[in-house]
Amino acid sequence: MGISFRRRKKIGKNTHLNMSKSGASITHKIGPLTINSRGRVTLRLGKGLTWRIK
């Protein structure tokens, strides 16, 4: 496992700008649903349990 870099900056009430080695993306959270600008959709099912839809 190598060194990883990740930075997260809040830009709105439920919106974050995520920066990592592979580039930048924007994440918007609507209740238990999280939508990423790269097309990833995640649903939070409970404490510590998530389901990635796409």
The answer to whether position 1 is within a domain reads no
What is the domain extent for residue 33? 6-52
Nearest one of 2, 37, 43 to 23, comparing CA atoms: 37
Write down the pTM of the prediction.
0.72
Spatial neighbors of 53 by CB under 8 A, at least 6 apart, are: 41, 42, 43
Q: Output the CA angle 6-22-51, nearest 5 degrees.
A: 70
The answer to whether position 16 is within a domain reads yes
d(CA 32, CA 2): 31
The answer to whether position 44 is within a domain reads yes
d(CA 7, CA 53): 24
- The predicted-structure confidence for 6-46, as pLDDT tens digits, reads as follows 899 999 999 999 998 889 999 999 999 999 999 999 999 98
